[in-house]
Structure 1
Amino acid sequence: MKIVVLAGGLSTERAVSLVTGTSVCRALRENGHRAVLVDLFLGLKDAPENLETLFDAPDGLCADASIGVEAPDLEAVRSSREDSSDRLFGPNVLELCALSDMVFLGLHGQDGEDGRVQATFDLLGIRYTGSGYLASGLAMDKVMTKRMMDSAGIPTPKWKLLEYGPEDVERLARELPMPCVIKTATGGSSLGVFLPEDRTALRSALEQVLDYHGKVLWEERIYGRELTVGVLGERALPAVEILPAEKDFDYAAKYQAGGARELCPAPITPEQQAAMGDIALHLHHTLGLEVYSRTDFLMDADGHFWCLEVNSLPGMTSASLVPKEAAAVGMSYNALCEEIVQQSYRLKRRT
Structure 2
Amino acid sequence: MSGFAFPAPRSSDPADFGRVGVLLGGTSSEREVSLDSGRNVLEALQARGVNAFAIDGIPALSRALVAGEVDRVFNILHGHNGGGEDGIVQGLLEAFGVPYTGSDVLGSALSMDKIRTKQVWLSVGLPTPKYRKVTAADVHAQAAELGLPVVVKPANEGSSVGISRVFDDAGLDEAVALATRYDGQLLMEQMVVGDELTVGILGDVALPSIRIVPKGQWYDYDAKYKADDTQYLCPGLDGADEEAIRHLALAAFRAAGCRGWGRVDVMRDRSTGRLFLLEVNTAPGMTSHSLVPKAAGQAGIGFEELVWRVLEQTLADPSQENRHA
Query: Same fold by TM-score, threshold 0.5 exceeded?
Result: yes
Match of 1:16 in 2: 33
Query: Which amino acid counterpart does residue 233 of structure 2 have in structure 1?
Result: L
Match of 2:70 in 1: 100
Give the superposition deviation at 1:174.
6.9
Match of 1:128 in 2: 100
Give the superposition deviation at 1:2.
1.4
- Where structure 2 has 5 or more consecutive residues not aligned to the other structure, the ranges are 1-17, 321-325
Report sequence identity in percent: 39
Match of 2:182 in 1: 212
Match of 1:339 in 2: 309
Give the superposition deviation at 1:253.
1.2
Cα 1:122–1:314 change in 2 (3 A) is same
Cα 1:128–1:224 change in 2 (3 A) is same
Correspondence list, 1:1-351, <5 A? 1-41=18-58, 43=60, 92-95=63-66, 98-110=68-80, 111-162=83-134, 164-165=135-136, 177-258=147-228, 260-266=230-236, 268-301=237-270, 302-346=272-316
| Structure-2 separation of matches of 1:259 and 1:99 | 42
Structure 1, residues 270-323: CA drift from partner, whole Å, max 9, x if none? Answer: 211110111111111112211111111111122111111111111122431000
| Structure-2 separation of matches of 1:176 and 1:306 | 16
| Structure-2 separation of matches of 1:169 and 1:240 | 33
| Structure-2 separation of matches of 1:244 and 1:29 | 33
Structure 1, residues 236-286: CA drift from partner, whole Å, max 9, x if none? Answer: 1000010111112111111013252111222x2121111011111111111
| Structure-2 separation of matches of 1:257 and 1:42 | 33
SS in 1 for 2:208: coil
- Where structure 1 has 5 or more consecutive residues not aligned to the other structure, the ranges are 44-88
Cα 1:26–1:202 change in 2 (3 A) is same
| Structure-2 separation of matches of 1:320 and 1:156 | 24
| Structure-1 separation of matches of 2:229 and 2:47 | 30
Computed over aligned residues only, the root mean square deviation of the Cα atoms, in angstroms, reads: 1.9
The worse-fitting range, judged by mean Cα deviation, of 175-184 and 317-326 is: 175-184
SS in 1 for 2:84: helix
The 8 Å contact of residues 140 and 172 in structure 2, kept in 1 or not, is answered as no
**How high is the TM-score relative to the length of structure 2?**
0.87
**How high is the TM-score relative to the length of structure 1?**
0.80
The worse-fitting range, judged by mean Cα deviation, of 174-183 and 303-312 is: 174-183
* Dislocated runs of 4+, deviation >4 Å: 167-176
Match of 1:54 in 2: none
